[in-house]
Homo-oligomer: A and B are copies of this chain.
Protein backbone atom coordinates (compact mmCIF):
# COMPACT_ATOMS: atom_id res chain seq x y z
CA UNK A 1 0.00 0.00 0.00
CA UNK A 2 1.69 3.17 -1.19
CA UNK A 3 -0.36 6.06 0.05
CA UNK A 4 0.42 9.65 -0.83
CA UNK A 5 0.76 12.27 1.88
CA UNK A 6 -2.07 14.17 0.21
CA UNK A 7 -4.37 11.18 0.50
CA UNK A 8 -3.35 10.53 4.10
CA UNK A 9 -4.12 14.13 5.02
CA UNK A 10 -7.69 13.80 3.74
CA UNK A 11 -8.45 10.80 5.97
CA UNK A 12 -10.90 11.24 8.82
CA UNK A 13 -9.34 8.85 11.33
CA UNK A 14 -9.57 6.36 12.83
CA UNK A 15 -10.91 4.39 9.90
CA UNK A 16 -10.41 1.01 8.31
CA UNK A 17 -9.03 1.17 4.77
CA UNK A 18 -9.33 -1.77 2.38
CA UNK A 19 -7.29 -2.23 -0.79
CA UNK A 20 -9.78 -3.78 -3.22
CA UNK A 21 -6.97 -4.91 -5.54
CA UNK A 22 -5.55 -7.05 -2.75
CA UNK A 23 -9.08 -8.28 -1.98
CA UNK A 24 -9.57 -9.30 -5.62
CA UNK A 25 -6.24 -11.16 -5.63
CA UNK A 26 -7.07 -12.93 -2.35
CA UNK A 27 -10.49 -13.97 -3.67
CA UNK A 28 -9.05 -15.28 -6.95
CA UNK A 29 -6.24 -17.19 -5.27
CA UNK A 30 -8.55 -18.86 -2.78
CA UNK A 31 -11.08 -19.76 -5.47
CA UNK A 32 -8.27 -21.27 -7.53
CA UNK A 33 -7.11 -23.35 -4.55
CA UNK A 34 -10.62 -24.70 -3.98
CA UNK A 35 -11.17 -25.42 -7.67
CA UNK A 36 -7.81 -27.20 -7.95
CA UNK A 37 -8.71 -29.35 -4.94
CA UNK A 38 -12.14 -30.15 -6.42
CA UNK A 39 -13.82 -28.63 -3.34
CA UNK A 40 -16.72 -26.19 -3.41
CA UNK A 41 -15.88 -22.75 -2.04
CA UNK A 42 -18.34 -21.47 0.58
CA UNK A 43 -16.60 -18.41 2.09
CA UNK A 44 -17.41 -17.33 5.63
CA UNK A 45 -18.79 -13.81 5.68
CA UNK A 46 -17.92 -13.22 9.37
CA UNK A 47 -14.75 -11.45 8.23
CA UNK A 48 -16.43 -8.78 6.09
CA UNK A 49 -20.17 -8.97 6.99
CA UNK A 50 -20.87 -7.21 3.70
CA UNK A 51 -23.22 -8.34 0.92
CA UNK A 52 -21.13 -6.37 -1.55
CA UNK A 53 -18.02 -8.42 -0.74
CA UNK A 54 -20.02 -11.67 -0.64
CA UNK A 55 -21.14 -10.95 -4.21
CA UNK A 56 -17.50 -10.58 -5.29
CA UNK A 57 -16.79 -14.00 -3.79
CA UNK A 58 -19.79 -15.55 -5.53
CA UNK A 59 -18.92 -13.91 -8.85
CA UNK A 60 -15.46 -15.49 -8.63
CA UNK A 61 -16.94 -18.97 -8.30
CA UNK A 62 -18.10 -19.52 -4.72
CA UNK A 63 -21.18 -21.77 -4.66
CA UNK A 64 -22.68 -20.16 -1.56
CA UNK A 65 -21.72 -18.46 1.65
CA UNK A 66 -21.33 -19.34 5.32
CA UNK A 67 -22.75 -17.26 8.17
CA UNK A 68 -22.08 -17.73 11.86
CA UNK A 69 -25.30 -16.14 13.07
CA UNK A 70 -28.90 -16.16 11.95
CA UNK A 71 -28.92 -12.35 11.86
CA UNK A 72 -26.05 -12.36 9.37
CA UNK A 73 -27.88 -14.87 7.19
CA UNK A 74 -31.02 -12.72 7.23
CA UNK A 75 -29.06 -9.72 5.94
CA UNK A 76 -27.39 -11.77 3.21
CA UNK A 77 -30.67 -13.38 2.11
CA UNK A 78 -32.33 -9.96 2.01
CA UNK A 79 -29.49 -8.86 -0.29
CA UNK A 80 -30.40 -11.68 -2.68
CA UNK A 81 -27.80 -14.27 -1.76
CA UNK A 82 -29.53 -17.60 -2.13
CA UNK A 83 -27.31 -20.39 -0.83
CA UNK A 84 -26.46 -20.01 2.84
CA UNK A 85 -24.99 -22.30 5.49
CA UNK A 86 -25.25 -21.31 9.16
CA UNK A 87 -22.30 -23.04 10.83
CA UNK A 88 -23.69 -22.62 14.33
CA UNK A 89 -26.11 -24.19 16.81
CA UNK A 90 -29.10 -21.85 16.41
CA UNK A 91 -30.95 -22.17 19.74
CA UNK A 92 -33.90 -20.55 21.48
CA UNK A 93 -37.62 -20.20 20.82
CA UNK A 94 -37.25 -16.65 19.44
CA UNK A 95 -35.08 -17.97 16.63
CA UNK A 96 -37.56 -20.53 15.27
CA UNK A 97 -39.96 -18.22 13.34
CA UNK A 98 -36.92 -16.35 12.02
CA UNK A 99 -35.40 -19.62 10.79
CA UNK A 100 -38.65 -20.59 9.08
CA UNK A 101 -38.88 -17.20 7.34
CA UNK A 102 -35.26 -17.44 6.26
CA UNK A 103 -35.73 -20.91 4.77
CA UNK A 104 -38.43 -19.49 2.51
CA UNK A 105 -36.00 -16.92 1.09
CA UNK A 106 -32.87 -18.97 0.35
CA UNK A 107 -31.43 -22.47 0.02
CA UNK A 108 -30.62 -22.89 3.70
CA UNK A 109 -28.33 -25.43 5.34
CA UNK A 110 -28.12 -25.61 9.13
CA UNK A 111 -25.84 -27.41 11.53
CA UNK A 112 -25.97 -28.63 15.11
CA UNK A 113 -24.11 -30.79 17.58
CA UNK A 114 -26.96 -31.84 19.86
CA UNK A 115 -30.51 -33.16 19.76
CA UNK A 116 -32.03 -30.20 21.63
CA UNK A 117 -30.99 -27.84 18.85
CA UNK A 118 -32.07 -30.33 16.16
CA UNK A 119 -35.48 -30.64 17.81
CA UNK A 120 -35.82 -26.85 17.64
CA UNK A 121 -35.08 -26.95 13.92
CA UNK A 122 -37.79 -29.58 13.50
CA UNK A 123 -40.30 -27.36 15.35
CA UNK A 124 -39.34 -24.48 13.05
CA UNK A 125 -39.87 -26.45 9.84
CA UNK A 126 -42.54 -29.01 10.71
CA UNK A 127 -45.45 -28.78 8.31
CA UNK A 128 -43.61 -26.46 5.97
CA UNK A 129 -44.12 -26.82 2.22
CA UNK A 130 -41.12 -27.57 0.08
CA UNK A 131 -37.97 -29.61 0.47
CA UNK A 132 -36.72 -30.44 3.96
CA UNK A 133 -33.96 -28.22 5.32
CA UNK A 134 -30.50 -29.78 5.18
CA UNK A 135 -28.73 -30.19 8.51
CA UNK A 136 -25.06 -31.00 9.08
CA UNK A 137 -23.74 -32.59 12.25
CA UNK A 138 -20.97 -30.49 13.77
CA UNK A 139 -18.00 -32.64 14.73
CA UNK A 140 -15.14 -31.82 17.08
CA UNK A 141 -11.94 -33.28 15.68
CA UNK A 142 -9.66 -31.60 18.18
CA UNK A 143 -10.45 -27.89 18.51
CA UNK A 144 -12.59 -28.38 21.64
CA UNK A 145 -15.16 -25.77 20.75
CA UNK A 146 -18.55 -27.18 19.69
CA UNK A 147 -19.11 -30.52 18.00
CA UNK A 148 -19.82 -34.12 18.86
CA UNK A 149 -16.63 -35.80 19.95
CA UNK A 150 -16.87 -39.27 18.42
CA UNK A 151 -17.98 -40.83 15.13
CA UNK A 152 -20.53 -42.87 17.10
CA UNK A 153 -22.07 -39.71 18.56
CA UNK A 154 -22.06 -38.13 15.09
CA UNK A 155 -23.88 -41.10 13.59
CA UNK A 156 -26.40 -41.16 16.45
CA UNK A 157 -27.20 -37.46 15.97
CA UNK A 158 -27.43 -38.03 12.19
CA UNK A 159 -30.06 -40.72 12.79
CA UNK A 160 -31.94 -38.42 15.18
CA UNK A 161 -32.01 -35.64 12.57
CA UNK A 162 -33.02 -37.98 9.76
CA UNK A 163 -36.05 -39.06 11.79
CA UNK A 164 -37.27 -35.49 12.47
CA UNK A 165 -39.97 -33.81 10.36
CA UNK A 166 -38.89 -30.99 8.03
CA UNK A 167 -35.19 -31.89 8.17
CA UNK A 168 -32.78 -33.86 6.01
CA UNK A 169 -29.47 -35.07 7.37
CA UNK A 170 -26.91 -33.87 4.83
CA UNK A 171 -23.46 -34.55 6.24
CA UNK A 172 -20.79 -33.15 8.55
CA UNK A 173 -19.49 -29.76 9.61
CA UNK A 174 -15.80 -29.74 10.57
CA UNK A 175 -13.54 -27.05 11.93
CA UNK A 176 -10.32 -28.97 12.40
CA UNK A 177 -7.40 -27.64 14.42
CA UNK A 178 -4.52 -26.22 12.40
CA UNK A 179 -1.99 -28.75 11.14
CA UNK A 180 -2.12 -32.44 10.39
CA UNK A 181 -5.56 -33.50 9.14
CA UNK A 182 -5.06 -37.25 9.53
CA UNK A 183 -7.14 -37.50 12.74
CA UNK A 184 -9.91 -35.43 11.17
CA UNK A 185 -9.93 -37.62 8.07
CA UNK A 186 -10.10 -40.75 10.25
CA UNK A 187 -13.05 -39.24 12.18
CA UNK A 188 -14.85 -38.51 8.91
CA UNK A 189 -14.29 -41.99 7.50
CA UNK A 190 -15.41 -43.70 10.71
CA UNK A 191 -18.54 -41.51 10.74
CA UNK A 192 -19.18 -42.32 7.09
CA UNK A 193 -19.15 -46.04 7.89
CA UNK A 194 -21.30 -45.66 10.98
CA UNK A 195 -23.85 -43.58 9.04
CA UNK A 196 -23.82 -45.99 6.09
CA UNK A 197 -24.76 -48.79 8.46
CA UNK A 198 -27.99 -46.88 9.04
CA UNK A 199 -28.50 -46.02 5.39
CA UNK A 200 -27.37 -42.42 5.78
CA UNK A 201 -24.97 -40.84 3.28
CA UNK A 202 -22.62 -37.90 3.81
CA UNK A 203 -23.60 -35.66 0.91
CA UNK A 204 -21.76 -32.66 2.30
CA UNK A 205 -18.57 -32.54 4.31
CA UNK A 206 -17.83 -28.93 5.13
CA UNK A 207 -14.41 -27.99 6.47
CA UNK A 208 -12.86 -24.61 7.03
CA UNK A 209 -10.32 -22.19 8.40
CA UNK A 210 -7.89 -19.90 6.59
CA UNK A 211 -4.72 -21.35 8.17
CA UNK A 212 -5.64 -24.82 6.88
CA UNK A 213 -6.12 -23.56 3.31
CA UNK A 214 -2.82 -25.15 2.29
CA UNK A 215 -4.43 -28.53 3.02
CA UNK A 216 -7.78 -28.05 1.27
CA UNK A 217 -9.31 -31.44 0.48
CA UNK A 218 -7.16 -33.41 2.88
CA UNK A 219 -9.96 -33.94 5.42
CA UNK A 220 -12.17 -35.46 2.73
CA UNK A 221 -14.32 -32.34 2.55
CA UNK A 222 -16.66 -31.47 -0.32
CA UNK A 223 -16.77 -27.77 0.53
CA UNK A 224 -14.55 -25.25 2.28
CA UNK A 225 -15.42 -22.36 4.58
CA UNK A 226 -12.71 -19.73 5.00
CA UNK A 227 -13.20 -16.14 6.04
CA UNK A 228 -10.02 -14.35 7.07
CA UNK A 229 -8.20 -15.03 3.76
CA UNK A 230 -10.20 -12.17 2.29
CA UNK A 231 -8.42 -9.43 4.26
CA UNK A 232 -5.77 -11.35 6.26
CA UNK A 233 -4.24 -9.95 9.43
CA UNK A 234 -1.25 -10.12 11.75
CA UNK A 235 -2.37 -13.53 13.02
CA UNK A 236 -2.32 -14.94 9.48
CA UNK A 237 1.20 -13.53 9.01
CA UNK A 238 2.36 -15.31 12.17
CA UNK A 239 0.82 -18.58 10.99
CA UNK A 240 2.42 -18.28 7.56
CA UNK A 241 -1.03 -18.18 5.96
CA UNK A 242 -0.43 -14.76 4.37
CA UNK A 243 2.38 -12.42 3.34
CA UNK A 244 2.39 -8.69 4.14
CA UNK A 245 1.27 -7.87 0.59
CA UNK A 246 -1.82 -10.08 1.11
CA UNK A 247 -3.08 -7.92 3.97
CA UNK A 248 -5.94 -5.90 2.53
CA UNK A 249 -7.25 -4.02 5.57
CA UNK A 250 -5.42 -1.56 7.77
CA UNK A 251 -6.70 0.71 10.49
CA UNK A 252 -5.57 4.25 9.73
CA UNK A 253 -4.89 6.29 12.86
CA UNK A 254 -3.62 9.77 13.63
CA UNK A 255 -0.99 10.54 16.24
CA UNK A 256 -2.87 12.87 18.58
CA UNK A 257 -0.21 13.33 21.27
CA UNK A 258 3.47 12.78 21.89
CA UNK A 259 3.50 13.18 25.66
CA UNK A 260 7.17 12.24 25.85
CA UNK A 261 10.02 11.08 23.63
CA UNK A 262 9.13 7.41 24.01
CA UNK A 263 5.34 7.53 23.70
CA UNK A 264 2.97 8.30 20.86
CA UNK A 265 -0.78 8.26 21.43
CA UNK A 266 -2.94 7.35 18.43
CA UNK A 267 -6.67 7.86 17.97
CA UNK A 268 -7.32 4.13 17.52
CA UNK A 269 -8.18 2.28 20.73
CA UNK A 270 -10.16 -0.80 21.65
CA UNK A 271 -13.31 0.57 20.02
CA UNK A 272 -11.75 0.13 16.56
CA UNK A 273 -8.81 -2.27 16.98
CA UNK A 274 -10.65 -4.42 19.56
CA UNK A 275 -8.78 -5.87 22.55
CA UNK A 276 -8.27 -9.18 20.76
CA UNK A 277 -4.64 -10.13 21.43
CA UNK A 278 -4.90 -13.26 19.24
CA UNK A 279 -1.90 -14.66 21.07
CA UNK A 280 0.24 -11.53 20.74
CA UNK A 281 1.37 -9.39 23.66
CA UNK A 282 0.45 -6.14 21.90
CA UNK A 283 -2.46 -4.77 19.92
CA UNK A 284 -1.43 -4.54 16.27
CA UNK A 285 1.51 -3.98 13.97
CA UNK A 286 2.65 -0.64 12.52
CA UNK A 287 4.13 -1.78 9.18
CA UNK A 288 5.74 1.60 8.52
CA UNK A 289 7.22 1.82 12.02
CA UNK A 290 8.24 -1.78 12.72
CA UNK A 291 10.07 -0.79 15.92
CA UNK A 292 6.90 0.72 17.41
CA UNK A 293 4.75 -1.31 19.76
CA UNK A 294 1.09 -0.74 20.74
CA UNK A 295 1.51 -1.78 24.35
CA UNK A 296 -1.91 -0.76 25.68
CA UNK A 297 -5.34 0.35 24.54
CA UNK A 298 -7.92 2.56 26.16
CA UNK A 299 -11.30 2.80 24.46
CA UNK A 300 -10.22 5.57 22.10
CA UNK A 301 -6.46 5.71 22.68
CA UNK A 302 -3.67 3.48 21.45
CA UNK A 303 -0.52 3.72 23.57
CA UNK A 304 2.50 3.30 21.28
CA UNK A 305 6.03 2.82 22.52
CA UNK A 306 8.14 4.60 19.90
CA UNK A 307 11.36 4.68 21.91
CA UNK A 308 13.07 2.29 19.49
CA UNK A 309 12.01 4.16 16.33
CA UNK A 310 14.65 6.13 14.45
CA UNK A 311 11.91 8.33 12.96
CA UNK A 312 8.93 8.19 15.31
CA UNK A 313 5.66 9.64 13.99
CA UNK A 314 4.71 13.14 15.13
CA UNK A 315 1.42 14.71 16.16
CA UNK A 316 -0.81 14.89 13.10
CA UNK A 317 0.92 12.04 11.25
CA UNK A 318 -1.30 9.23 10.01
CA UNK A 319 -0.05 5.69 10.65
CA UNK A 320 -1.22 2.30 9.38
CA UNK A 321 -2.04 -0.45 11.87
CA UNK A 322 -2.36 -4.07 10.81
CA UNK A 323 -4.88 -5.54 13.27
CA UNK A 324 -4.14 -8.73 15.18
CA UNK A 325 -7.53 -10.12 14.16
CA UNK A 326 -9.33 -8.47 11.30
CA UNK A 327 -12.78 -10.09 11.67
CA UNK A 328 -13.47 -8.27 14.94
CA UNK A 329 -12.49 -4.92 13.39
CA UNK A 330 -15.10 -5.11 10.60
CA UNK A 331 -17.61 -5.87 13.32
CA UNK A 332 -16.99 -2.49 14.96
CA UNK A 333 -17.67 -0.34 11.90
CA UNK A 334 -20.61 0.54 9.67
CA UNK A 335 -18.34 0.94 6.65
CA UNK A 336 -14.72 0.64 5.61
CA UNK A 337 -12.96 2.99 3.23
CA UNK A 338 -11.79 1.46 -0.04
CA UNK A 339 -9.03 1.92 -2.58
CA UNK A 340 -8.89 0.65 -6.16
CA UNK A 341 -5.83 1.21 -8.31
CA UNK A 342 -4.45 3.24 -5.42
CA UNK A 343 -7.36 5.71 -5.60
CA UNK A 344 -10.18 6.17 -3.12
CA UNK A 345 -13.44 4.62 -4.26
CA UNK A 346 -16.84 4.11 -2.60
CA UNK A 347 -16.71 2.77 0.97
CA UNK A 348 -17.81 -0.81 1.61
CA UNK A 349 -21.00 -1.04 3.63
CA UNK A 350 -20.84 -3.61 6.46
CA UNK A 351 -24.52 -4.43 6.35
CA UNK A 352 -24.41 -7.40 8.74
CA UNK A 353 -22.38 -5.60 11.39
CA UNK A 354 -23.81 -6.04 14.86
CA UNK A 355 -26.05 -8.96 13.84
CA UNK A 356 -24.97 -10.92 16.88
CA UNK A 357 -28.20 -12.87 17.33
* Chain A residues engaging chain B, CB cutoff 8 angstroms: 9-15, 46, 68-69, 88-95, 98, 113-114, 116-117, 120, 140, 144-149, 254-260, 263, 265, 267-268, 270-272, 274-277, 298-301, 303, 314-316, 318, 327-328, 331-334, 353-354, 356-357
Contacts and interface: CB of A to CB of B under 8 A. Distances in A.
Contact of A254 (B11, B14, B92, B98): B92
Nearest to A277: B275
A332 B331 contact: yes
A175 to B, nearest CB: 10
A315 B271 contact: no
Contacts of A9: 92-93
Contact of A259 (B113, B256, B271, B332): B113
Nearest to A12: B94
Given A94-B10, A316-B92, A145 B274 contact: no
Contacts of A93: 9-10
A333 B356 contact: yes
Nearest to A272: B356
16 contacts: A9-B92, A46-B299, A68-B300, A89-B256, A90-B256, A91-B255, A92-B316, A116-B314, A117-B257, A146-B256, A147-B257, A267-B357, A271-B356, A275-B277, A299-B331, A331-B332
Tallying the copies of this chain within the complex gives: 2
A298 B270 CA distance: 17
B300 A356 contact: yes
A333 B332 CA distance: 9
A303 B147 CA distance: 13
Contacts of A267: 88-89, 91, 357
A276 B271 contact: no
A116 B113 CA distance: 57
Contacts of A144: 259, 263
Contacts of A15: 356-357
Contacts of A46: 299-300
B272 A275 contact: no
